[in-house]
Amino acid sequence: MADLGRAVSFATARGGVVEKARLGYLLTQEPPSAEAVAVLVADQRSDGGWPASWAHGASSLDATCFRLAQAVQIGITAEEPAIARALTFLAQRQRSDGSWEEEVQRAVAPFWVKPGDQAATLYLTANSGFWLAVLARPSAGALLAAGYLAACLSSDGHLPSFLHTHWLAGGLWWRLGQYERAEGVFRYLRKRLTADVAASNLGWLVNALHAVGVPSSHPLIEAAASLLERHQRADGSWPSEDGPDYDVHSTLEATRALRLCGRF
């Protein structure tokens, strides 16, 4: 069984103002301080998006979705002007077929968001559509995204993309009431969940599905939470597949996921 006290100690000792705000909101529903909100939105660009480290200052769909996820975890709603601008950015960048691609040169984009690559397009469409569904429901853009993804779905619940595309797409469909399609993806994911799946991804899966109302008793969430418990290290942390600099983020994701599942 995971140890909440050690996880909190690790995150508190190493986290910055936003990370501590995420922890406070999770444990006691403490509203974020003005400083935490200011730090979270500080580098938002005039178009409403946020830049990624690889984007040379340009707004990134992937980076913007990440900020929206953090905003939810510190208790910021779509009524916050910065969040409203970010949702407008996503809506305006959606293509007519319902999909999204990063508007950067292919050579500078990492593989998971590379323009012209189907796996990347499906991931960005699932992620952007997911956040429109969560924060801007009802959303015509979310419905368009759901249809685009459905056209690429195999009968066994597989999408030709990364594993995380599946839980984002499944979450989008669940949020829109397309439960049969979502359950098909969830069954596929259950077959793919093993001890080799990174802790950061397990936490992401649980938190994403919780955000759209999938019950913590769902077999997929129970399986992911059980695997997540095994990944905690002696110092209370959960390792990130992106390296030690992201261990605090991974630990907060895992702590939130297990807390929501009643594992603490």
Answer positive or negative: Cα dihedral of 90, 247, 72, 78: negative
Dihedrals phi, psi of 60, to nearest 5 degrees: -120, 135
Cα distance between residue 233 and residue 206, in whole Å:
19
Dihedrals phi, psi of 97, to nearest 5 degrees: -85, 0
Q: Is the peptide bond before 160 cis (omega within 30 degrees of 0)?
A: no
Cα distance between residue 21 and residue 15, in whole Å:
9
Cα distance between residue 165 and residue 76, in whole Å:
24
User: Cβ–Cβ contacts within 10 Å for residue 177, how many?
Assistant: 7
Residue 24: predicted pLDDT: 97
All domains of the chain in start order, with CATH: 4-260 (1.50.10.20)
Residue partners of 149: CB distance under 8 A and separation at least 6? 122, 125, 126, 129, 159, 169, 172, 173
Residue 104: predicted pLDDT: 84
Q: Kindly give the parts of the chain with pLDDT less than 70.
A: none
Provide the b/e sequence for 37-60 (b: ≥16 CB within 10 Å): beebbeebbeebbbbbeebeebbb
Residue 195: predicted pLDDT: 87
